[in-house]
Amino acid sequence: MSNWKQLAGGLGFIGAIFVIDTQILVEPTETPEGMIWIESGSFIMGSDQGLPDERPAHEVRLNGFWVDKYEVTNADFIKFVAETGYETYSEEVKDSLVFESPSLTPGEPVRPMSWWRLVANADWQHPEGAKDSIERKESHPVVHVTYDDASAYCNWLDKDLPTEAQFEYAARGGLEGEIYSWGSQPRHRHETMTNHWQGTFPYHNENSDGYANTAPVGSFPPNDYGLYDITGNVWEWVSDWYHPNYYSYSPLRNPIGVSISESLDPNEPTLPKRSIRGGSFLCSENYCSGFRVSARMPAEPSSSTNHTGFRCVANQTGFFR
């Protein structure tokens, strides 16, 4: 991200300077194409009514940043690969995880691996396997990308993956203390507010939103910051290493998560994990409700699935003192 300071100076990104809360805020006069400027400010992160790893709700103050308006699409990733020759992890190992609704008897214990299949030759160009393709899906979010794949794309554009705090701040769209990106009313039950699982997960998806899997980005209403699919559609990689109790001691300003050595998923305590945010087309109310703005999930950074993608941010590194 060292080039952003030079770019900002060279391209005239810097406008007026204001002093706010003892910080120097440099307000941009231009926004990079396809991104939205999120003003610096404070918000209440997490939820005391959510899952244990969303507690306690606590104040966070963030510097301003730009964030992608949409999730990174297959068309975006095609350009990246064409220019760099990049090969994703799933292409290297020649397999990836694909969701398949299990044949379970209702009432039988639901175990995550019961609905995931390791499919040969599944990758970002073949989301369901070798016989599938992304033809006519160029506007869908790219999937089957690991944390390193997502990070490599962002670095190519001199951007970053968002922190958890940046992602939640952006997802809330200025709505303080609400459950969803559109407020606290469960409008998704009767309106197509986001791409998620309707019905009883993982047995039956009613598909009342029109999509059994990913949807083209921008198919659902944006939040109040103008961000599309910031909840639902696909889970999105963020930069933080995951710890379920991080909120109890995270710093007030610009938190970035724990170190890799401190990362902890109680279900797999020996395996460091990154956080993913926003929920996906597989999130239902009877299971994870991952489309809630405070929801967070641990994910092994070298894992790739057909319900995980990402978006990038651009930070004003060096502009705050």
Tokens for 136, please give them: 């006519």
Domain membership of residue 321 (yes or no) is no
> What is the bridge-based pairing of β-strands 308-309 and 235-241?
parallel
Domain membership of residue 176 (yes or no) is yes
**Cβ–Cβ under 8 Å, residues 139 and 74:** yes
User: For residue 224, is pLDDT > 90?
Assistant: yes
Global pTM reads 0.89
User: For residue 142, is pLDDT > 50?
Assistant: yes
Domain membership of residue 227 (yes or no) is yes
The total of other beta-carbon atoms located within 10 Å of residue 244's CB is: 17
**DSSP 8-state assignment for residue 147:** H
CA angle 56, 247, 35 (to 5 degrees): 110
CATH of the domain at 187: 3.90.1580.10
What does the pLDDT look like over 11-63, one tens digit per residue?
Answer: 333 333 333 344 444 556 688 999 999 999 999 999 999 999 999 999 999 99
What does the pLDDT look like over 282-318, one tens digit per residue?
Answer: 999 988 899 999 999 999 999 999 999 999 999 976 3
Domain membership of residue 285 (yes or no) is yes
Domain membership of residue 320 (yes or no) is no
Residues contacting residue 203 through CB under 8 Å, at least 6 positions apart: 101, 102, 104, 106
Q: Give the total number of structural domains in the chain.
A: 1
Chain length of the chain: 321
- For residue 60, the enclosing domain spans 3-315
